[in-house]
Structure 1
Amino acid sequence: MATMSTAVATVRPAGSAGARASARRFLGGLLPAPASEVADAVVLVVSELVTNALRHGGGTCTLNLTAHPDSIEVAVHDPSPHLPRLRAPGLNSGSGGFGWPMVRRLAHATAVTRQPTGGKTVSAFLTR
């Protein structure tokens, strides 16, 4: 059974590699430790959301990781008001379009919240 305490980590990643490393450290400190497939899914979602925030959201972002008793929340805030959108994957052009559908498949819930101070927060909740 997962502990009832909540663990939170906040980082300002310069890139997706740093965000993945932060996520792995965060996950490594949880008790009980999440199963390896859960940890891999969290790291993948972190990588995708941070990459999108840096690419499309103004070049800076904040990553918040929160361990709830039954889920792990990945929340990425960026200064852009533009919401994520589904688009046809670029199978031959290399233009992307795969990330948001993947995040939505891996997470049991997602949310996009416009912030009163500007920008938005994209959150994904993965079953712990």
Structure 2
Amino acid sequence: MAVLPDLPAAAMACAEGRRFVAEHLRRWEVPFQVCDTVVLLTSELIANAVRHGPPPLCLQVDVDQGRVRVAVSDSNPVLPVLTRPDYEAVGGRGLWLIDTMAEAWGCAPQPPGKVVWCEVLLT
């Protein structure tokens, strides 16, 4: 497992998180296509945490039992709710994208806030 504690709650957080995850997935020899998907979903998880949860933010990535798991925690205890945005909506597609592309995802209280995670199969 790799952990990036104190991820900045700013615009640069997504880029820093993508870079961190991509470097570890390459080191762990995760297939390129899986890596691309996981990096995209990481960006969405971080963007949601930056937008809706105050710091501290923490990013975790792990490869185990045939899957990659990414988790982002923040200090907002309000759990996200999956919605399907209207085609004309400007935003609101992050969690829908995660739900569509990940094998599984979820969220749970983690004092003082929550953790939101997703998993992608290695195959």
TM-score bracket for the superposition, by shorter chain length = 0.7 to 0.9
1:86 CA displacement: 2.4
- Which residue identity lines up with residue 65 of structure 2 in the other structure? P
Aligned-pair distance for 1:91? 4.0
Computing the radius of gyration from Cα coordinates, the structure with the larger value is 1
Residue matched to 1:100: 95
Q: In structure 2, what is the equivalent of residue 111 of structure 1?
A: 106
Structure 1: tracts of 5 or more residues without a match: 1-7
Q: Deviations over 1:40-96 (max 9, x none)?
A: 1100111000110011011431000011030010011111011111234254452x1
State TM-score, norm by structure 1. 0.84
RMSD between superposed Cα atoms in Å? 1.5
CA drift of 1:119 comes to 0.5
**Count, aligned residues:** 117
* Identity between Structure 1 and Structure 2 (%): 31
Counterpart of 2:26, as a letter, is G
Higher share in strand: 2
Q: What CA distance in whole angstroms lies between the structure 2 residues aligned with 1:107 and 1:121?
A: 16
Give the TM-score normalised by the residue count of structure 2: 0.87
Provide structure 2 residue ranges, at least 5 long, that are not aligned to the other structure. Answer: none
Q: Which amino acid is 1:86 matched to? A: L
